[in-house]
Amino acid sequence: MITSLSIKNYALIEKLTIDFSKGFSIITGETGAGKSIILGALGLALGKRADLTSLKNKEEKCVIEAHFEISKYNLKPFFEANDLDYENDTIIRREILPSGKSRAFINDSPVNLQELQELSLYLIDIHSQQQTQELSDENVQFKIIDAIANNLELIFEYQGLLKLYKTHKSRLNALLKRKGEASKEQEYNAFLLDELVVAKLKSGEQETLEADYEQLNNVEIIKESLDKSLAIANEEQIGVSHNLNEIKNAIQKIASFSTDYHTLFERITSLKIEFEDIAIELNRCSEKLINDPEQLNLIGQKLQLIYNLQKKHQVISVDELLDIQRNLENTVLELGNIDDEIINLTEVVDDNSKQLDKICDTIHQKRLEAIPLLSQKLIAILETLGMPNVRFQMELNSASTYLENGKDELQFLISANKGTDFGLLKKVASGGEMSRIMLAVKAILAQYSKLPTLIFDEIDTGVSGEIANRMGEIMKVMSSHMQIFAITHLPQIAAKGTEHFKVFKSTVGEDTQSELKLLTSEERITEIAQMLSGTVISDSALNHAKALLN
């Protein structure tokens, strides 16, 4: 339950700190006094979006701090799951800086808004007039039935499995689509792969083939040049070998006369040896040189095949072609593996579906059992609220797909008066009747919910007199299970509270401020009397106020 609320620099509130007790608390005040500001501040503390318009003084930060006593509500798992320090007296603090940035803290640990909003679901339900209209929404109706059917844990399990099912189903559909698209390309990819495999490509072979092709293609001029070089080298009288030998013999005669001559002799000797080796190599090249038109043709064909493949695949090397070949092999192989993956994933999806169906059946059966109980409880409460002939008709129909909370579709119909046909809530029930139905729903849920605090924001719209008195009684009974706040304009409801707070505006100089005050017994009599008679309080109004309070 909320034990205190501190507000600084928010809207018309400069600074406010108020303590709350368990039980039934009333908040009253004139229209525009600031009741919505209090709720807005509390909403910010619970994770609603904020902007700079929230700041009273634009130069200072806005700070809202709420204390909650949570020792009885089994919230330790939430704190552990979100790596937060657990305290029985948990403090939520929200800050809006002049820059527009917002910060949130739970027990002084920084948190994001999503974590704050998730925690708030376990702390407070703020019922607004808009929420009364949401009673016509099927999801809201299911939440009421499921709370009574004790389906919440089952639905949580179902939603986790549904998320898994959708993930697997999406993956399966993607694989089937991929297979369909890949099948169209499979034949072409197989053809491309076959071309590359048949080519029997090897890394570096293009350079070797090009060199061999150049040699075979120019064999005649090569042969002529080699033979001419051999002739010049080996001519008997004037050949290079003969002349080198003559030079060597001449220098050998004077080599002993000087180191310079000896060096020259060594160099000419080395030169002669090297040239003789060259001549031998020239001869070897000449002898192995063969004019082979057939081999030339084969090499040309292989090179042309390589060039054609390079052009087709827009690459410039054999290594790149080999990379493409490996990729194509993987693609073709992968398509074969897709079939196995589709089979396995289909089995997983089917298994998920069977588990979901089993949970859905259990949820459905528990809803069928809860519907008569809900109808009975609603009728019992609404009979005391001036709707003695109200009847409900709730029917479950099987949906063809998995929904967020099972496979049921709900038809929630009402007949508010004797002799009238059943119809949709929003079409049949008036505003006052919707308020009473919502209060009845909240009263029933209070018996099943573990929620610490419920705030009614003018749930009494459209009712008055004895009906308002009974609505107040119901809220008072609810406060034995949980902390209840009622923001109201009706004195009959205001008189039922154990504590009574008043929201009012005050003027300090040129500044207008909203304030919240806990009324004393005497102040409370005056406030309720004023609610009865207006600004001028009569003696009868005072007596009536005392009678209501007693």
Tell me which of 200-214, 314-328, 394-408 is least confident.
200-214
**In the structure, what pLDDT confidence band is assigned to residue 336 with cuts at 50, 70 and 90?**
low
Rounded average pLDDT over 107-126? 90
Tokens matching residue 379: 């009728």
* CA pair distance 351, 347, nearest whole angstrom: 6
pLDDT digits (tens, 9 = 90+) for 516-549: 999 999 999 999 999 888 878 888 989 999 998 8
How open is the CA angle 91-94-96, to the nearest 5 degrees?
160
- Residue 394 burial by Cβ neighbours in a 10 Å radius (0-12, 13-18, 19+): buried
**In the structure, what pLDDT confidence band is assigned to residue 310 with cuts at 50, 70 and 90?**
confident
Mean pLDDT of the chain: 87
Q: Check if the beta carbon of residue 426 is closer than 8 Å to that of residue 437.
A: no
Would you state the pLDDT for residue 159? Answer: 92
- Distances from the Cα of 429 to the Cαs of 139, 385, 456, in angstroms? 19, 14, 20
In order of start, what are the domains of the chain with their CATH numbers? Answer: 1-123+451-519 (3.40.50.300), 181-335 (no CATH)
Rounded average pLDDT over 270-298? 82
**In the structure, what pLDDT confidence band is assigned to residue 442 with cuts at 50, 70 and 90?**
confident
Tokens matching residue 237: 């009288």
* CA pair distance 502, 515, nearest whole angstrom: 8
DSSP secondary structure string, 224-272? HHHHHHHHHHH-TTT-HHHHHHHHHHHHHTTGGG-HHHHHHHHHHHHHH
Tokens 């009402």 belong to: 414
| Beta strands 391-403 and 406-415, pairing class | antiparallel
- Statement: residue 51 has pLDDT above 90: no
pLDDT digits (tens, 9 = 90+) for 131-187: 777 788 888 899 899 989 999 889 999 999 999 999 999 999 988 887 777 666 767
- As a whole-number percent, the residues of the chain with pLDDT over 70 amount to 97
| Beta strands 62-69 and 124-127, pairing class | unpaired
| Beta strands 499-508 and 24-28, pairing class | parallel
* CA pair distance 398, 401, nearest whole angstrom: 9
Other beta carbons less than 10 A from residue 147's beta carbon? 18
